[in-house]
Structure 1
Amino acid sequence: MANGEKEKRGDERTAELKQLGDRIKSLRIKAGYSNYEYFAYKHEIPRSQYGRYERGEDLRYSSLKKIVRAFGISMEEFFSEGFD
């Protein structure tokens, strides 16, 4: 695989993680939590870890499921907005 292809994949992955982070943040704000730390604390998610998710850093599927459950929605609902 050429370096250009690797860079393109890396850029795509970064963009996808940013989309996940933006969606998580928008749902938190919509739920009435202006502070991500309070939301994380309230739902027993490590605050620093949750902050990384909102910034679009890598997260595991199991962590995403826990966050989606904290919002009280399905995975289908989570991905219904903000994704191509």
Structure 2
Amino acid sequence: MTDDDLIHRIAASTGLPASVAARVVDDVLAWYDESVEAYVRRRHAELQLYGTRNAEAFARIAAELRDRRVAAPELSERQLRRIVYG
């Protein structure tokens, strides 16, 4: 359940109807609710689609994790590999 004050604030600041603002808030919260493990697996798969080699992919993922809104713990390349490959 989303905070009604946040929905009203988004609706007021964007001009969106409250129902659309609620959907936007839910989508944003779901985006940031993704676990570190799910994020690493998803980003690794995305980067592989574009031919990114593992060393570069893991470096990029580690940098992205440092910049996430809710910071993930610092993970080594080995930890990232273990998330992807088990």
What range describes the TM-score normalised by the shorter chain of this pair?
Answer: 0.3 to 0.5
Structure (1 or 2) with the greater helix fraction: 2
TM-score by length of 2: 0.33
TM-score by length of 1: 0.34
* Greater RCO (Cα-Cα under 8 Å, separation 6 or more): 1
Which protein has the larger Cα radius of gyration, Structure 1 or Structure 2?
Answer: 2
